[in-house]
Amino acid sequence: MRHIAAMRDSVSLALAGSGGAGVMTAGNMLLEAAALAGCYGLMTRSSGPQIRGGEAAAMLRLATFPTDAQEDRCHVLAAIDWQNVARFAAEIPLAPQSLLVGDPARGEPPDGFLKSGARYVPVPLKKLAGEIQGAWPNMVALGVLGGLVGLPAQALEAAARKSMKKGLDAGIAALRAGFAFPLPDDFVLEKPKAGGARWLITGNEAAGYGALRGGVRFVAAYPITPATELLEWFAPALARVGGSLVQAEDELASINMALGASFGGVPSLTATSGPGLSLMTEALGLGVAAEIPVVVVDVMRTGPSTGIATKTEQADLNIAFYGMHGDAPHVVVAPNSIPDCIAATEWAVGLAESLQVPAIVLSDQYFGQARAVIDAPPVSGERREREKAKANGTYSRYAMTPSGVSPMAIPGTPGCTYTADGLEHNERALPSSQAGDHQAQMDKRARKLAQLDPGERWASIEGEGDTAVITFGSCTGAVREALAGKPIRIVSLRLLSPAQPGKLKKALEGVKRVIVVEQNHSGQFLRYLRSEYELPADVRSLRRPGPLPFRPQEIAGAIA
């Protein structure tokens, strides 16, 4: 038994290498092994621009508590080789206390990493693998990292058994060789407390699962990074629950397919990223005018235009709020953690269905492509559903009601036929250019959202103090970590639109200073808050564009 001076409640590791080195495979196994050992964790990934192969880095954080933020510093960078790995220097911030693990046969670590002052520990990964027939250096590296953080060998082997389809014996032997390699013991994780059931899930899978929990049974799909995995997840999942997925010819088609299916009474969704959302805005306006529920999950990436397709940014607020022409009230929801990708997407489906409006869910690449160990989510709460018309002879599709929501007839219902129309219309759904009808229908569509009572779910509110941070989405994790234990209130908005000025006012009672944290260049969130909310006089903006996620120290330093 080793004597360990001080154990940690959180360790950050990166595993990098050139294409085909298997760093993602090993990274996923390490995360799973940590989960099997009772730890929480998070893995994000970074890769070069090559379609296939090319350098890649798996960035892991293992902890004894749930988290979806990366730490300020990476404790250990292990590289199978150093070819082009220097490109990740900005994404893998090292400190003098950090370790650089590399194979001396593959050269010295690049200056970009060495200048951090990190200690270099040579480990002959290739040689150790070469001593075992059919073994690969990535499995040796997995053993090295697992040993470094003190994971039990059984957990590592169990993770390997779960994911290796061939070469298992050689893989396990390589893992053991790495595990036995003597290394410093200053990055050992504390033994986690026993907890309840855990899941291993990506943000994209979580959004997809939440959508199905909310009742979605039709998805139209056009591939786009970083939403593709979400669409791919749906294909077999929908088939298993009796739904269907159509691959569309473009995003104009996918959103219109979703609207057509929803007109048919089936809760529908499509997922995309910024360029696709741009193409969908005309049809989203149709959804508003014709009052057809539909959900669009926008897995945001760096913009404008093609931007950096594989990297994160929170810069689609403007298009999500204001992209449609005319006055087009609709719902915008943003999950603020990976587990919340389940709950928030499920909720968005319910809001779209019950209010008969389009709902945009603003996830992002950071959440979407990160895999995390989370507590098994609670069962769904009360489901909000679409109010359907029953057969009658005097049906008015857009009848005036106090809530603004009118029962929707589903094709097949006798006595209620009507034409859903993007043309302005009267209560009976007949096209109208009359000022009175336009005013009445505009009022009705606005009223639906104005009368929404979102309950407690509109925001996550934590902490006390006369300073508040207002944020949303994937910044929330870093904000939480930066401000833990400090006398600062955190308000992370989940319901971005319709705005809830009364609720925010209450949440900010006693607050004298507000800092708005967002990940875009122009401060889109702050501008929106200023236009919709009453804020204290002292408001500061902490913002920068992607592609790098916020780290806690960046936020703590700016707020101190």
Partner 1 sequence: MNAPLALLQAKDFKSDTKPVWCPGCGDYSVLSAITKALATLALRPENVAVVSGIGCSSRIPAYTRCYGFHGVHGRALPAATGLKVARPDLTVLVASGDGDGYSIGGNHFLHACRRNVDLTYIVMDNHVYGMTKGQPSPTTEPDWSSKLAPGGTGLREFHPLVIALASGANFIARAFSGDPNGCAALIAEAVRHPGFSFIEVLSPCVTFRPEQRGWKDQVHPAPVAPTDDPGRAARRLMTDDGFNIGVLYQGRRPPYAARASGSAGSVNDLEKAFQL
CB atoms near residue 473 (< 10 Å): 29
**Which residue's CB is nearer to partner 1, number 217 or number 444?**
217
Binding mask 214-233 for partner 1 (x = CB under 8 A): ---xx-x-------------
Q: Which of 86, 253, 442, 449 binds partner 1 (CB under 8 A)?
A: 253
Q: For residue 351, give the nearest of 363, 362, 360 by alpha carbon.
A: 360
Lookup: tokens for 455 = 């309950």
252 contacts partner 1 (rule: CB under 8 A) = yes
Sign for the CA dihedral angle at 341, 344, 350, 355 comes to: negative
Give the interface size with partner 1 as a residue count (CB under 8 A): 68
Using only the alpha carbons of the chain, give its radius of gyration.
25
Which residues are registered as beta bridge partners of 460? Answer: 492
According to the 3-state scheme, what is the secondary structure of 7-35? CECEEEEEEEECCCCCHHHHHHHHHHHHH
Site for partner 1 in 380-439 (CB under 8 A): 409, 411-423, 429-431
Considering only residues 59, 175, 212, 324, which one is a binding residue for partner 1 as defined by CB under 8 A? 212
How is residue 135 annotated by DSSP?
A: -
Residue 352 engages partner 1 in binding (rule: CB under 8 A): no
In this chain, which stretch among 129-137, 259-267, 306-314, 496-504 interacts with partner 1, using CB under 8 A? Answer: 259-267
Q: How far is the CB of 372 from partner 1 (least distance, A)?
A: 11
Kindly tell me the sign of the dihedral angle through the C-alpha atoms of 531, 533, 538, 539. negative
Number of neighbouring beta carbons within 10 Å of residue 388? 12
Q: Is 472 within 8 Å of 361 (Cβ atoms)? A: no
Q: Interface with partner 1 includes 196 (CB under 8 A)?
A: no
Alpha-carbon separation of residue 4 from 59, 118, 186, 190 (angstroms): 25, 21, 7, 10
Minimum CB distance to partner 1 smaller for 205 or for 518: 205
On whether the CB atoms of residues 500 and 454 are closer than 8 A, the answer is yes
CB of 106 to partner 1, least distance (A): 34
Q: Which is nearer to partner 1, 11 or 221 (CB)?
A: 221
CB closer to partner 1 out of 290 and 535: 290
Site string for partner 1, 18-47 (x = CB under 8 A): --------------x--xx-----------
By CB under 8 A, residue 250 contacts partner 1: yes
331, 357 contact by CB (below 8 A)? yes
Should residue 138 be labelled a site residue for partner 1 when binding is judged by CB under 8 A? no
198 Cβ contact list (under 8 Å, min separation 6): 35, 40, 373, 374, 375, 376
Shortest distance, position 45 Cβ to partner 1, whole Å: 18
| Minimum CB distance to partner 1, residue 397 (Å) | 10
**Residue number with CB closer to partner 1 (385 or 421):** 421
Q: How many of the other CB atoms lie within 10 Å of CB of 534?
A: 11
Positions in the binding site for partner 1 (CB under 8 A): 32, 35-36, 197-201, 205, 209, 212-213, 217-218, 220, 235, 237-246, 248-250, 252-254, 256-266, 268, 282-283, 285-286, 290, 373, 376, 409, 411-423, 429-431
